[in-house]
Each structure stands twice: as C-alpha cells, then as structure tokens.
C-alpha cells in the first residue's frame, strides 16, 4: 500500500482555530468515494420542511438535518443538527449566502471512515464523527487555509482518482488557477492530514466524482 509524507493539522482545541505548527508523519493513503451529493441544498429547504439525510456508518447511524429558521437574522438563517443514533452530536448555524449550499457524504475506503461536507462559495467544512471524543468534529475549515488565488472560492470534493481535495478557485473563471490541498486520514493522529499541492490546476469540477 502506498505511503505518503503528510502534514497534519494540530488542533488548538475542539472546534477552535488551528495552530500553524505542522508535523511530518507517514500515513497510508486514503481512497475516497462519493456516497451522496446534493447540489443547491438551500433550494431543498422549505420554510416548513427541513432537509435530512441518514447514513449507516461504522460509528452508527449518522443523520444530518438542515432547517430554515424563520425568525432568525441572516447570520443564523439555517440550523444544522447532526445526530448519532438518537444522540445529538453537533449543531451550528449558517448564514444566508448568495449561491446557496451543497452537501457531500464521502467514505474513506482504506480507513472505513465516513465524512460529511457542507460548503458554499464562502466556506467549506469537512465533518466526521470522533468515537474517542463522542462527538462530531470539524476536521477541515477552509477559512484556516490560504486560498492562493484571487477571489478563491472554497470546495471540498473527492476526485475520480480517489483523492479528496480542498480547492480554491474562481468558479466563474475557466482558467487553470485552482489551488489545491490533498486531504487524507491519519489514524495514528486521529485527524485529517493535508499536503499543499499548490496552484495551476484546471477547474476541480472537471475531475470531481459525481453520482
């Protein structure tokens, strides 16, 4: 099995910003497969009905629900609730955004882990259940990474080669300016590792997995 040299993100505390410290470690390569893709998620959420999907994982049944809050201001327009079996393991509030949100569920087939992505052009996050902590973790937040390109808009997606990347690009510009980070799971560190792949890639939509 292929070994890669990776950098792993050292968490300051759960849910907080990351240290800039980077530690070299050798990990087995992950291979990610798309389980679910929901584009234009915001359009699926009505004023009276929430969007919800459930997934059977090695950590139990994980459900992700997003509902619109009628009385909220724009900074807290949507309420995200994640549960494991019957226990609530995560929640947050999302603002209204111009182009809406999209959702992905991806499985790391090498490490038998399931991850979830909620993303907009403004921000992309990768979530996963941490059995040791007993809660959902935000393993990757695009706002903790340098975009590397003008007007860099965020995306986290598995590619057709099985890799998972965080990319920044101008979605309305077809020129190859995408800045990518390769993401993989480090079982020893119990966290996501990353490699900065730099810039010059073609738009990620040409390589991403679709259902």
Q: What per-residue confidence (pLDDT) applies to 12? A: 37
pLDDT: which is higher, 162 or 46: 162
Q: Are 137 and 14 contacting, i.e. CB atoms less than 8 angstroms apart?
A: yes
Arithmetic mean of pLDDT, 100-114: 96
pLDDT value, residue 77: 84
Percent of the chain with pLDDT over 70: 82
Find, among 139, 108, 142, the residue nearest to 124 by Cα: 142
pLDDT of 46:
75
Cα–Cα distance for residue pair 10/56, rounded to 1 Å: 29
- State the average pLDDT over residues 166-188: 87
Per-residue pLDDT at 51: 93
Digit-coded pLDDT (tens) for 29-74:
789 999 999 998 888 887 778 899 999 999 999 999 999 887 666 6
- Angle CA 84–88–90, to nearest 5: 95
Instruction: Report the alpha-carbon distance of residue 136 to residue 117 in Å, rounded.
Output: 12
How would residue 75 be classed by pLDDT, with cut points 50, 70 and 90?
low
pLDDT at residue 9, as a whole number? 47
**pTM confidence score:** 0.84
Q: What is the pLDDT of residue 149?
A: 84
Output the pLDDT for position 177: 79
- On the question of pLDDT at 102 being above 90, the answer is yes
DSSP 99-144: T--EEEEEEETTTTEEEEEEE-SS-EEEEEEETTTTEEEEEEEGGG
- Measured in whole angstroms, the distance separating CA 24 from the mean position of its chain's CA atoms is 22
**CA atoms of 211 and 193, how far apart (whole Å):** 26
pLDDT at 22: 44
Cβ-based neighbours of 199, under 8 Å, separated by 6 or more: 148, 149, 177, 178, 179, 180
Higher confidence at residue 15 or residue 194? 194
**Could you give the strand order of the β-sheet that contains 102-108, starting from the edge strand earlier in sequence?**
32-38, 102-108, 113-119, 124-130, 135-141
């Amino acid at each position: 099995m292929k070994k890669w040299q990776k950098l792993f993100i050292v968490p300051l505390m759960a849910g907080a910003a990351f240290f800039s410290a980077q530690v070299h470690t050798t990990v087995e390569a992950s291979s990610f497969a798309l389980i679910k893709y929901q584009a234009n998620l915001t359009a699926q959420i009505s004023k009276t009905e929430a969007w919800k999907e459930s997934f059977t994982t090695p950590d139990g049944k994980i459900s992700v629900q997003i509902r619109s809050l009628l009385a909220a201001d724009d900074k807290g327009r949507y309420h995200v609730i994640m549960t494991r079996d019957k226990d609530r393991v995560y929640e947050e509030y999302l603002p209204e955004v111009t182009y809406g949100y999209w959702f992905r569920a991806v499985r790391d087939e090498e490490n038998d882990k399931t991850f979830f992505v909620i993303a907009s052009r403004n921000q992309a996050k990768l979530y996963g259940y941490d059995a040791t902590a007993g809660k959902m973790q935000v393993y990757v937040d695009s706002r903790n990474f340098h975009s590397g390109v003008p007007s860099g808009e965020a995306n986290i997606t598995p590619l057709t080669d099985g890799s998972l990347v965080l990319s920044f690009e101008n979605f309305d510009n077809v020129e190859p300016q995408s800045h990518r980070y390769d993401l993989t799971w480090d079982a020893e560190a119990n966290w996501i590792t990353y490699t900065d792949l730099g810039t010059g890639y073609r738009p990620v939509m040409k390589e991403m997995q679709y259902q």
